[in-house]
Chains A and B, each alone.
Chain A
Amino acid sequence: MSNFRLALLLVVLSMTGAMAQTASIWDGVYSDAQADRGSSGFAGHCASCHGANLAGTGEAPALAGPHFLSDFDGLSVGDLFDRIRTTMPQDNPGSLTRDQLADILAFLLKANGLPSGAKELDRRSEYLKAIGFSASNPHP
């Protein structure tokens, strides 16, 4: 394989490979103000199925607690964001803006006892993919 081809391959691999995760949900990746905004968004768009206490109803799963954290363990915040963005609310997917979704996601993180910080969650999936979703604190 020529050097040029090797270089090209490396470039392609770096473009298609998983984005390196530089932060985790345990690093204070949302702000309290954002979670507060997300609280009302959750009540208006999510709680009728997932329950006001996030415990789930019927077929709608709980969105707080270790089972929920386990379901997304090893993925990224971007993966969860896109799952919500493309399919929720179930009866009207695509009806919420990215800003509204980021706020609701911040509320979910807070409801799961994850620490807040100074910055807000980004509204872009690509940036959220850099935040690792791990069920347990990697730096306890």
Chain B
Amino acid sequence: MIGGWAMKLRLCTGAALAVLISACPAGAQNVDWTSYTGDITGSRYKPLDQINAANFSKLEVAWRFKTDNIGNRPEYKLEGTPLQVGGVVYATAGSRRAVIALDAVTGELLWVHGEKEGARGAAAPRQLSGRGPAYWSDGKEARILYVTPGYQLIALDAKTGQRISSFGDHGAVDLKADSDQTIKPNLASGEIGWQSAPTVVGDKILVGSAFREGFTPTTADNNKGTARAYDVRTGRKIWEFHTIPRKGEFGYDTWLNGSAEHTGNTGVWTEMTADPDAGLVYLPVESPTSDFYGGTRPGNNLYGNSLVAVDINTGKVKWFYQFIHHEIWDYDMSSAPLLMDITVNGKPVKAVVEPSKMGFLYVFDRITGRPVWPIPEKKVPKGDVPGEWYAPTQPIPSRPAPYARTGVAESDLIDFTPDLHQKALAVTKNYKIGPIYTPPVVSKAGGPLATLGLGPANGGTNWPGGSFNPQNHTVYTYACNSCLLAMGLVPPPQGMSDLPYVIGQAGQQVVMINAAGADQGADAPLVKRAPARAGGGGRLTVDGLPLIKPPYGTISAINLDTGTIEWQVAHGETPDYVRNHPALKGMALPRTGQTGFNIGTLLTKDLVIAGDADVTTTPEHPRGAMLRAYDQKTGKEVGNVLMPAGQSGSPMTYMVGGKQYIIVAVSGGNYSGEYICYTLPNE
């Protein structure tokens, strides 16, 4: 039995609104943030400028909301971006992944709604607070919709937080039961879930799917990815898209040996966007089982690692583009597709733009699917893992140029001093390095231990995705430029997996690698893990410094009328352990940026706003992480404000009662999840 609970405080939304409206100066225009990315185009942009370059550093905390008690344990991985509509902030929060409604001006809790899901919540592949809810209104009533860790779509009254009884089964749709596939082994423990925010398009709501981490999957025969549209009024399923085609469907024959039948994953775990005028929904599809070994699924594996444009009313494919054939690097498709209207060679183009973990920005005509600039197929290295199937070519965009490192070369290694560079070369000689799409290797104690990749699993651009300004046709996106991954394959220990290879390193114990939030949610079981074996291997550092040279993380501005990178800056304070390293004493280091993949950008009229991932302590500021503002034209930092912990969820902005606010989620280290709302002082 899945029980629901909700609490409503006496100060109701309506009362709060009435106060706000009366306090609102004449002529001030409220601006809402109605979906995860601010709108359904993925922009993360609001043309507000009350907070601007001249005053950003004067920002002060308007209110803060600690999420510790939303669930039975605190969370240190708060990734949400709240919504704000009509003076109320809505967000998912806590290890329970409850929805909270807060007064947008004061932060006062108006209501909270969570679901106790028992064994089903405990088995959820994607636990914790998730990325956020969705908002729908027809002008008469308003609803908040979200997906629980246990994979239920819940519809709530936006005023009260109570379930909408006429939606689905008393306000809930069981997304496991209401699927075209039979979830294995049963609905309670069957592996499928979702942590992203649904997208509302008209009277439809879009939901995707996600699975456990694919480094060490237990089986190649996993549940399959899916994306669905539901009627936001009734909870009735309108369509379901099979990311792995069924027999008779287009693309089935790209899975050789009938491997479409058994292969799973291939979810749509990140945000979806839509163009109602074109009648299209854009689905970014991830990799099939497993992330680094595909010998059980020979072939190109459609629609794995594809962008699929489907009809908004039927879910039928209008066009698709496969970014990676037969994926074996865990690149997925990580980012909300950006729906931009651009002008190329004097001609208007309705474009869809896809940032990626690969560091490429892919640009298409979003009506036809034709690349705006050529994306030629290029020959890529072939590997020698027994049983693996290799695609001979992969598509490489000719324009724009990559905005992050795409492979590992000796020239990417640390070079602060000749000695450090020599030590880095000594470390890498035990590994295989090469350009992008150099495949994983079977790990051998005598070498190679693994293939080193920059971007696999982490990015490049990961789940926060990019942002764009529709006025200047420019994409602004964060990228990790030093997220190094060792891709070595080893046979799994008995009982771990039915795949012949999982990720690991020769000479080291092979451990199950869990997905973000697995076993951390409020319903998670208290289970005993097997003790680890003694021993260990080398780390990918040189005297404690990163193996890869700076910049460790960047923000890029990429103009899509011309396809050029206009500027790129290192994002994030130089880490303490780099700045204070004895080997670098006396050296004047430019800001290095930080190694992180959870950074999303917010755009206002003239600013790019993003926080540091990690805390630092410098002569200029006490321990903390900076929320920074950059000039959109130049990339010059124009202001900053100190946060108590690193940015862990992407910022958003809104205008209520004549004042502009910015909310950002922070957490990490010893600092549990907190939404912090900033505004300018009253002067």
Contacts and interface: CB of A to CB of B under 8 A. Distances in A.
Interface of A: 43-45, 47-49, 51-55, 57-59, 62, 65-67, 69-75, 79-80, 82-83, 86-87, 89-93, 95, 135-136
A52 B539 contact: no
A82 to B, nearest CB: 7
A135 B576 contact: yes
Contacts of A52: 508-509, 532-536
A47 B129 CA distance: 26
A91 B518 CA distance: 9
Contact of A74 (B73, B544, B617): B617
Nearest to A89: B529
A57 B515 CA distance: 11
Contact of A65 (B536, B544, B580): B544
Given A79-B670, A86-B74, 11 more contacts: A45-B529, A47-B532, A52-B509, A52-B533, A58-B513, A58-B514, A66-B577, A70-B616, A80-B670, A83-B669, A135-B580
A87 B617 contact: no
Contact of B74 (A53, A66, A87, A92): A87
Contacts of B515: 59
A47 B346 CA distance: 59
A57 to B, nearest CB: 5
Contacts of A70: 575-577, 614, 616
A70 B545 CA distance: 12
Contacts of A53: 508, 535-537, 539
A43 B531 contact: yes
A73 B514 contact: no
Contacts of B537: 53, 55
13 contacts: A44-B532, A51-B532, A52-B533, A52-B534, A53-B535, A66-B545, A70-B575, A87-B73, A90-B519, A90-B520, A91-B527, A135-B580, A136-B580
Residue of A57, A72, A80, A136 with highest tally of chain B CB at under 10 A: A57
B670 A75 contact: yes
Nearest to B623: A74
A52 B669 CA distance: 20
Interface residues of B, number: 46
Interface string B552-579: 0000000000000000000000011100
B129 to A, nearest CB: 15
A69 B577 contact: yes
B670 to A, nearest CB: 4
Contacts of A59: 514-516
B587 interface: no
A72 B670 contact: yes
Contacts of A51: 511, 532, 536
Given A59-B516, A71-B614, A92 B544 contact: no
B636 interface: no
A47 B669 CA distance: 18
Contact of B530 (A48, A57, A73, A75): A48
B511 A72 contact: no
A71 B215 contact: no
B613 to A, nearest CB: 11
Nearest to A68: B577
A136 to B, nearest CB: 6
Contact of B215 (A45, A58, A136): A58
A136 B583 CA distance: 13
A126 to B, nearest CB: 16
Contacts of B520: 90-91
Q: Which 6 pairs between the two chains have the least Cβ-Cβ distance? A: A53-B536, A47-B532, A66-B577, A58-B513, A74-B623, A66-B544
B547 to A, nearest CB: 12
B241 interface: no
B213 interface: yes
B513 A57 contact: yes
B581 A66 contact: yes
B576 to A, nearest CB: 4
Contacts of B545: 66
B539 to A, nearest CB: 5
Contacts of B530: 48
B74 A91 contact: no
B525 interface: yes
Nearest to B544: A66
Contacts of B533: 43, 52
Contacts of A62: 539
B76 interface: yes
B576 A43 contact: no
